[in-house]
């Protein structure tokens, strides 16, 4: 096994946002030399990695040149140049998750086709190359879900279409439509898989969404569902990971239907918002686990030590500019509350600026505390 610790080994990460920043806490813990590529000199990772490079993640040459400097290359965002990753893999750089996995997942049409081909339960879908093609289909079954085929995140590039007028207002881009599924809960499972094919799942989490921004407000672990549904969700998530044969973390977002069936919504091939609770609540955080998977180390214990709830800190409406975290000292007075600030200096409405984890033996107490935290902290500007 290669010596990763306090050695000449170099880990490369494409993307310097908050996910990379939280990963760096683990690379520092293990003393793994880490290089970051990001387009902004002010990226959250910039002050904390061993080497920081400025470049465009979608540019072939920038990604290829960066990849040649490292021994293992990973991502903290899936919007990256795939051709460069294939070339690097061909030339002996270990790229995890594999380029073929990222290519399928970063395109929502290919991702949905993959589930269908592998008999993985998901909602029925149609693919369209343009808005004109979508209009020509004369869809009449309303409402349905519209998704941009690429570059959507945090609710961007997702719309509920309720009428023909709504179709006329959609962007002109390659897209998919999905049947709108009535569901009881939105759930997620983080799956860890290393190069030896060892797989572990984290407990099922439940997600409560902001009704306007389509962003997660609360991630609740464990999900308040029956043991049978939880076991089914973990089984389906593991089936997805094994179908992809990916190496790394896979965040599997799913719906619990009215009949308690589990169907896949979509996945992300990386650490994920739905796993942030694990930093405080789990034996092994998702970020340490990601490092273990891509370096093919033994997988850590995925059990929770305590119930955990994560609250996103997002920019308040009506505020744009230099960020101020109002009342953050107030929440620090509460037991079991830990804020994480992502290092973004400028706030704007609904921008993810940080998160807060609340841990407690009692999930109900944790949930009440989470609401108190949510109503206390305000992310505003000067």
Give me the helices (H) in the chain, please.
18-29, 60-67, 82-90, 99-106, 108-117, 131-136, 164-168, 227-244, 278-281, 286-294, 328-331, 363-376
Residues annotated within the binding site are 108, 147, 178-181, 186, 265-266
Q: Using CB atoms within 10 A of its CB, is residue 79 exposed (0-12), middle (13-18) or buried (19+)?
A: middle
**CA separation for the pair 366, 341 (Å, rounded):** 20
**CA separation for the pair 319, 359 (Å, rounded):** 30
- Residue 103: partners with Cβ closer than 8 Å, 6 or more residues away: 82, 110
Q: At CA 290, angle to CA 90 and CA 350, rounded to 5?
A: 105
**CA separation for the pair 30, 38 (Å, rounded):** 23
Residues annotated within the binding site for ATP are 108, 147, 178-181, 186, 265-266
**CA separation for the pair 233, 243 (Å, rounded):** 15
């Amino acid at each position: 096994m290669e010596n990763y610790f306090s050695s000449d080994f170099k880990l490369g990460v494409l993307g310097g946002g908050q996910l990379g920043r939280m990963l760096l806490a683990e690379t520092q813990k293990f003393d793994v030399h880490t290089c970051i590529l990001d387009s902004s000199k002010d990226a959250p990772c910039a002050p904390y990695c061993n080497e920081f490079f400025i470049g465009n993640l979608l540019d072939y040459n920038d990604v290829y040149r960066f990849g040649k400097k490292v021994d293992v290359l990973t991502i903290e965002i899936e919007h990256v140049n795939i051709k460069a990753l294939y070339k690097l893999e061909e030339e002996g750089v270990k790229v995890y998750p594999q380029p073929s996995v990222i290519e399928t997942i970063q395109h929502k049409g290919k991702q949905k086709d993959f589930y269908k081909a592998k008999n993985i339960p998901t909602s029925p879908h149609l693919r369209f190359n343009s808005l004109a093609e979508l209009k020509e289909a004369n869809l009449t079954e309303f409402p349905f879900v519209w998704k941009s085929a690429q570059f959507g995140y945090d609710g961007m590039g997702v719309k509920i279409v309720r009428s023909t007028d709504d179709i006329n207002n959609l962007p002109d881009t390659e897209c998919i439509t999905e049947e709108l599924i009535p569901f009881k809960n939105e759930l997620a499972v983080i799956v860890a898989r290393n190069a030896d094919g060892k797989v572990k799942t984290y407990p099922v989490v439940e997600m409560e969404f902001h009704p306007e921004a389509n962003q997660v407000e609360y991630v609740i672990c464990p999900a308040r569902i029956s043991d049978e549904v939880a076991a089914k969700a973990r089984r389906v998530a593991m089936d997805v990971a094994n179908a992809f044969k990916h190496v790394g973390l896979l965040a599997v977002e799913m719906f619990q239907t009215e009949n308690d069936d589990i169907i896949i919504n979509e996945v992300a091939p990386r650490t994920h918002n739905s796993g942030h609770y694990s930093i405080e609540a789990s034996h092994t955080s998702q970020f340490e686990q990601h490092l273990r998977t891509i370096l093919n180390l033994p997988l850590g214990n995925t059990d929770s030590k305590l119930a955990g709830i994560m609250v996103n800190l997002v920019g308040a409406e009506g505020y744009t500019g230099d960020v101020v975290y109002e009342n953050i000292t107030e929440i620090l007075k509460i037991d079991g509350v830990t804020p994480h600030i992502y290092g973004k200096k400028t706030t704007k409405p609904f921008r993810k600026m940080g998160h807060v984890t609340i841990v407690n033996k009692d999930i109900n107490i944790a949930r009440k505390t989470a609401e108190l935290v949510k109503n206390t902290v305000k992310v505003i500007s000067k």
